Amino acid sequence: MPGRRRPFGAIAAWSVRHARAVLVVAGLLAITAAVAATQVDTDAGLGTLVGKGDPTYEATQRVRSEFGEEPVVVLVKGSLPKLLLGKDIFRLTRLEGCLSGKVPKGVKPLPGACEEIAATAPVEFLAGPATFLNEAVVQIDAQLERMSQQVAPERFREFLLTVATKYGITSAPSLDNEEFVSTVVFDLAKARGTPKARLSYLFPNSHAAQIVIRLKPTLSESERHRAIALIKEAVAETEPRKACKEEGKATPCFVLAGGEYIVTGAPVVVDGISQALKSALLLLFGVAIVVMAIVLTLVFRSRLRLLPLALALASAAIVFGLLDLVGGSLTMASVAVLPILIGLAVDYAIQFQARLDEVQATGASGAEAARTAANLSGPTIATACLATAAGFLVLLLSPTPMVRGFGLLLVAGVLLAFILVMTAGFAALSLRPSGGWRRGGNHPEEALATGGMVGPGGDRTRLAGAPWSLPGPGASYTSSR
């Protein structure tokens, strides 16, 4: 028979003859790949949107190497006068010191997030309201010290008097000197609490300040995620500590009396998206399983009706396991691969299983039934598979790395799904109880594809006349053997 030399039939027949070994190998491969898939890194960064050879990407990397990552911003919401002219300024000072990771010699960092930030040193640069004011105090004190040594006492006193008259500063600069802080931060010619325009990078308006943190560009994805988590943990800390006691009582070190903190910025958004990708994949995975199982149960009239879904899930597991093996990452686009791949794999499996049911309805069984079914359906399904893969290959022309990765995953998934259906699919079907669509009763349409049917007694019946002709009106279906 010419069909015996066709590759599809040979593969299906071989899989049936070695059914248990094929299923064991496929099962172990799918389980191993599924475990590996849980370890796939996520990536929602610039590299998924712009190629590494793109001038924009190269320019961005140069800026990162010189200035650090895009800033993490701790937004401090509250009235500026209340934040800066009271005890909250000292709480901001402690928080900025904690987040910078720079601990003065002889001083122990606060336990918890502050201690880990100091140990890992993920911060390249930090600028904040308290840091700015404290640096102003230090610089002014140093300048006054130099002037007192270099200028005659009379001229020095004259200079101090001029400063006091012009700026209203009558005492030494310090963080708790309201005159000094108001003169430095606020525009005294405008409404009370209006910050100076040139300080908008720290004080965007009268109801907010911000702490700007740039992480080191050399941090790995996991280190960056941990650094952002530590920043959030430190900002949210409310535990009273003796090191931050006020009026003899232990108090939280960073909790503001007149404001609140919000951690934001591009790295925080990207990190949030990256962490959400795995959750989104699991959600899609669960929804796809439930929906496809319901559809197959209600519509697919065959024994082992959920086998196509099992094969599709195994294909998806292997694809994402391979993604981890080659060092790939999970992007926003690759998450969309899962429902598409499951749908295509289920389609291939249903077509092969339905054809095998039709062949078995003629009385064939075992390896020969699988060979015939694969020879009949294999070329058509393989053509559809290759056409689908070719369509996805066009995505490789996209300038966006994320889209190219999406296309490659789908191509690999389609091909793996076809191979798995041809091997493990036929192997599993060969081990099910005999009978696919074989039924007694008045259902000749179920055997029309092969020119035969099953009679009331379960015997195989061929239609009267030509192999593909229907009997005339009033004809009865009886066994012709």
**pLDDT beyond 60 at 350:** yes
For residues 100-112, average pLDDT = 81
Helix (H/G/I), strand (E/B), else coil: 211: strand
Beta bridge partners of 215: 123
CA distance 337 to 319: 10
pLDDT tens readout for residues 250-261: 888 898 887 899
Which residue is associated with the tokens 């090191």? 243
Q: Other C-beta atoms within 10 Å of 410: how many?
A: 23
Helix (H/G/I), strand (E/B), else coil: 75: strand
CA 97 to the chain's CA centroid: 32
For residues 46-75, average pLDDT = 72
pLDDT tens readout for residues 138-177: 888 787 777 777 777 777 777 777 766 666 666 777 888 8
Confidence of residue 479 (pLDDT cuts 50, 70, 90): very low
Which pLDDT belongs to residue 169? 67
For residues 369-396, average pLDDT = 91
Q: Tokens for 341? A: 């791949």
The percent of residues above 90 in pLDDT, for the chain, comes to 25
Q: Tokens for 447? A: 């055997």
Q: Tokens for 425? A: 């699919």
The residue that leads in pLDDT, 339 or 284, is 339
The residue that leads in pLDDT, 314 or 267, is 314
**Which among 301, 322, 324, 315 has a CA at the least distance from the CA of 416?**
315
Which residue is associated with the tokens 């993920």? 122
**pLDDT beyond 60 at 66:** yes
**Which among 56, 34, 64, 416 has a CA at the least distance from the CA of 266?**
64
pLDDT tens readout for residues 164-220: 666 666 677 788 888 888 888 888 788 888 999 999 889 999 999 999 999 888 888
Per mean pLDDT, which of 62-76, 100-114, 204-218, 424-438 is the most reliable? 204-218
Confidence of residue 299 (pLDDT cuts 50, 70, 90): confident
Confidence of residue 423 (pLDDT cuts 50, 70, 90): very high
Which pLDDT belongs to residue 324? 84
For residues 269-273, average pLDDT = 81
The residue that leads in pLDDT, 352 or 2, is 352
Which pLDDT belongs to residue 445? 35
The residue that leads in pLDDT, 49 or 83, is 83
Q: What is the pTM of this model?
A: 0.64
**pLDDT beyond 50 at 451:** no
Confidence of residue 57 (pLDDT cuts 50, 70, 90): low
For residues 379-408, average pLDDT = 89
Which pLDDT belongs to residue 47? 63
Which pLDDT belongs to residue 458? 37
For residues 383-395, average pLDDT = 91
**What domains are defined for the chain?**
2-51+274-438 (1.20.1640.10), 71-264 (no CATH)
**pLDDT beyond 50 at 440:** no
Which pLDDT belongs to residue 223? 86
Length in residues, the chain: 481
Which pLDDT belongs to residue 49? 66
pLDDT tens readout for residues 31-43: 999 888 888 777 7
Which pLDDT belongs to residue 280? 77
**pLDDT beyond 60 at 79:** yes
State the chain's mean pLDDT as an integer: 80
**pLDDT beyond 60 at 424:** yes
Per mean pLDDT, which of 52-56, 73-77, 244-248 is the most reliable? 73-77
Which pLDDT belongs to residue 460? 41
Strands 41-42 and 329-330: parallel
